[in-house]
Amino acid sequence: MAPTLLIVLFAAAISLALNATTSASGSWSPDPAVIDRLNANPRVAAQYDEASVPDYDLPDVLATRDGQPITTAEQWQAHRDTLLDLFREQMFGRPPGAPDELTFELRQRDEHALGGSATYHRIDAISRVGERSHRFEFVLFTPNDAAGPVPAFVLIDHRWREDRDRSQPEDRGYWSPQLVIERGYAVAAIRANDLAPDHADHYTEGIIELFEGYHAPTASPAPHKAGTGGAGSSAAPAIRRPDAVMALAAWGWGASRVMDYFEQSDAIDASRVAVLGHSRNGKAALWTGAEDQRFDVVISNNSGCGGAALSRRAYGETVRIINEHFPHWFTAHFKAYADREQELPFDQHQLIALTAPRAVYVASAGDDLWADPRGEYLALAHASPVWALWGHDTLDPDAMPGLEQPVTTGLMGYHLRTGGHGLTPYDWNQYLDFATRRWQ
Ligand code: GTR
């Protein structure tokens, strides 16, 4: 054989071997053109260089706070309470609990929805705490051909503004009730703003006011100032506690009230319900699943910083940036970790682990670098040893899948979709496949 041919064959063999290694350790890397585009936009210019991610040590997901190893499911359950409490105190706030009284009012019912395949309901959830009450609406589609109670999805929806009609699917697929109905499941949506307006000066004017009697003054100089007194009162501002419940947890509280409805409904199998949120509500969905273990499947779509992405990587949106832009999402305690991620007493893999031993799905988008796709995958993989306590397979942190190669391991699912930040029919279909495997 001619020496040149030998060299070519040798080079080809090496390149094959290298490719195999690359794909085993995760073949995806961000498109440099996307990084340039993001950095040209001052709103999302950030650290997107993988080589500049700081060295970090993650808290061991299988160790107690005082460093004892966790080797059994029983030990995990005991540790879980401490960990949940830590996330409440430091990040999402202490939950207000259930209302004194909760009632539901059917406002509209249409048996011919989605081309006759579903019944559409608009339902009001009315909560009473002492003298105060709060009302929010949710929509619910149930499949018309159901033979009995069906599993359901609940979307925590921040894109549903008052002027949007949720009886119809949305063109771009963010709201895709028809896909869920086709699988034989029900699907509900809540409007996040009804639980806590997504605004630093007004976020208390929902269920926080219901429980605390606070009424945020409109010209609040700081996000943590709120007025005392009954709903609608203009009493002097008071400082809320540094671990007071904040907007993300308030949104999740609404999903729990829908679960309360499911538990008393003959149409829904409340033991098979998935909670789903995109982006800010992908964060809220993870927290909802941590707080409310009645949700059997927890799905976090493009949730990024404060959601599925590891904070310690400080890639894309960071703890400092998110707290500056959205001071009403997380507690006052969390603000202390701006540019000090390494000092956090936890990282987001432990938030995901609070879902165990139920099913969890995390999804990223290849161009959504602000949300740090790799950090989202790594958090899921580093959470997975907790599921091994129940005998389930784990995910390899070094084997991040490539674009549109969804992986399901044990009770965990992950995919990296092509394109940017969003919730699309592709995403919904992966979640429906995953939930179907879980529920059948
Ligand atoms: C961004 C925010 C993200 C994400 C997103 C969204 O502006 O920085 O954390 O939550 O909004 O909700 O669409």
pLDDT tens digits for range 229-265:
333 444 444 689 999 999 999 999 999 999 999 999 9
Q: What is the pLDDT of residue 171?
A: 76
Candidates 48, 70, 51, 97; CA nearest to 350 is: 70
Q: What is the pLDDT of residue 26?
A: 57
Q: What is the pLDDT of residue 164?
A: 85
Whether 61 is in the pocket of ligand 1, judged by its Cβ within 6 Å, is no
Cβ neighbours, 10 Å, residue 87: 23
Q: What is the pLDDT of residue 238?
A: 61
Q: What is the pLDDT of residue 163?
A: 81
Q: What is the pLDDT of residue 20?
A: 32
Q: What is the pLDDT of residue 161?
A: 84
Cβ neighbours, 10 Å, residue 376: 31
Nearest C-alpha to atom 13 of ligand 1 is from which residue? 279
Taking the CA of residue 321 as reference, the ligand 1 atom at the shortest distance is 8
Whether 279 is in the pocket of ligand 1, judged by its Cβ within 6 Å, is yes
| Phi, psi of 113, deg, nearest 5 | -75, 160
Q: What is the pLDDT of residue 336?
A: 97
> What would the two tokens of residue 188 be?
């509900």
Q: What is the pLDDT of residue 136?
A: 98
Q: What is the pLDDT of residue 86?
A: 98
Q: How far is the CA of 285 from the centre of ligand 1 (A)?
A: 14
Q: What is the pLDDT of residue 65?
A: 94
Q: What is the pLDDT of residue 139?
A: 98
pTM summary value: 0.91
Residues of the chain with pLDDT under 50: 1-25, 217-237
Q: What is the pLDDT of residue 179?
A: 98
